[in-house]
Chains A and B, each alone.
Chain A
Amino acid sequence: MNNSKADQTQLLAELRRLECKPPKRADRLVARHLKCEESQSLAHAVAEAARRSSSGTMPALEAPSELLPPLI
């Protein structure tokens, strides 16, 4: 019982520490971009262009010649 109480106190302290921790710079940047209308429209344009150019099929990669040399 005492152990579980101690665990709970410890967990509460850890969560309080995390709550007060300021967000990472990378997170702040991503969040700012997610809210920015220009970023959103750019992301949409890139995704749309990628969708159009891929034409929905898997591109076939040419095998390097070294992998399939002539048998003789």
Chain B
Amino acid sequence: MTLLGKGCGETLPSLRRIPTSYRLETNGERLYRLCLALVERNLADETLWQETGKVAMVFARTAIQRLIDEYAGGALKDKIDYCFEVRDDLGTGYWRGGALGEGKLMAMFELQACGYLKIGAALDALEEQERFLGAAFYYLLRRSLHRWIRIYDHTDAECYNEQLHEWMEQDEPESRDAYEFPAVDGAIPEPVRTAKDWTYPSARRLLRRHLQGPHSVWIQKLLTLHRLSRLKGQVMRFEGEYDDAPVPSLLLVFRENDAIQACFDHESDRYNETTNEPTCAVCFHPESRKEFDAALRTMAIFLRVNIELAGLITLLNGMEEEHAGQREHRTEPSLRAA
């Protein structure tokens, strides 16, 4: 009796000698120029070259990743998430694959997860110190951030609200009842609504008067962010290569689930329907010391602005959480019927 018959004589082929990856190196000279620039500035060395198996792509990627990790040190974790890329062509949109220019590279940060800052409780606390101190804080924060990232705040919510009214007016009379309008005006604190003629010097002057006050940590952080935002970088300006502006990196609301957040929730549904510009991009020739240094500097400023913003998110959202139980309007619906 035989339990098992003889094998069929065929064996599975060994995969040992079959290549499992393929590296296509077109425009490889640009990649090597980038590696050269990193080594010349002591941002990568022979040890890393050996560790990364002398593969230029892995070498450059690891060096840049280490540089970002050392610089940001996890400060953005769970606050704002960006992905960093270095490319030799334009990424998406109508101009997909479009050339950047002979020998050029583009370094860019693209948003992965938007930041969320609830500022209402902090503004109330500042207003208690002095009338319009909170409004000055809010003004300077918004304007400083606008220089480097796109944010979604009450002005965007107001625009969306106006647009919604226009749509309703153009719609059939029987469909108009279906429209709901976020109560944006009611969500904006009175001092922010009232004080509109701010300038940088007037806001800074008012804030500096409270540098020794109970909220000095917030004000110092904001003034640092403001100083950083005024540094000059070589940020790339796009001219129609993408369908839309960058996706907002920060949602700035006064209260959790307020009308501004409701507007954002409605608008954000269509953010990924089109191609968006990267949040921050810089174009450079890697062999040009001046351009490479300008690119490094621009990326460093961008990161520093975001690090300071992440610090403010921790401080101010903490303040909001502490005061969350004390407000009556917390449970009010953020949308109201027309």
Binding site for B on A (CB under 8 A): 4, 7-8, 10-12, 14-16, 18-21, 23-24, 27-28, 30-31, 34, 64, 66-69, 71-72
Contacts and interface: CB of A to CB of B under 8 A. Distances in A.
A23 B4 CA distance: 55
Given A8-B45, A8-B46, A27-B26, A19 B33 contact: yes
Contacts of A28: 26
Nearest to A7: B46
Given A11-B45, A11-B46, A19-B33, A31 B24 contact: yes
B102 interface: no
B46 A10 contact: yes
A67 to B, nearest CB: 6
Interface of B: 1-8, 10, 24-26, 28-29, 32-33, 35-36, 39-40, 42, 45-47, 49, 56
A20 B287 CA distance: 13
Contact of B5 (A15, A23, A24, A66): A66
Contacts of A69: 2, 4-5
Nearest to A71: B3
A23 B8 contact: no
A40 B7 CA distance: 44
Contact of A30 (B1, B24, B40, B49): B24
A72 to B, nearest CB: 6
Nearest to B5: A69
6 contacts: A8-B45, A14-B49, A16-B32, A28-B26, A34-B24, A69-B5
A11 B25 contact: no
A28 B36 CA distance: 23
A15 B1 contact: no
A19 B36 contact: yes
Contact of A15 (B7, B10, B26, B39): B39
A8 B39 CA distance: 7
| Nearest 10 interchain pairs by C-beta | A69-B5, A19-B32, A7-B46, A31-B26, A66-B8, A11-B46, A15-B36, A64-B8, A19-B29, A18-B32
B1 A12 contact: no
A12 B59 CA distance: 13
A20 B29 CA distance: 7
Contacts of B56: 15, 18
B2 A15 contact: no
A7 B50 CA distance: 11
Contacts of B35: 15
A72 B5 CA distance: 10
B3 to A, nearest CB: 7
Contacts of A11: 39, 45-46, 49
A15 B35 CA distance: 7
Contacts of B40: 12
A11 B28 CA distance: 17
A68 B6 CA distance: 9
A27 B24 contact: yes
Contacts of A15: 32, 35-36, 39, 56
B6 to A, nearest CB: 7
A53 B19 CA distance: 27
Contact of B36 (A7, A12, A31, A72): A12
Nearest to B48: A11
B46 A67 contact: no
Contacts of B49: 11, 14
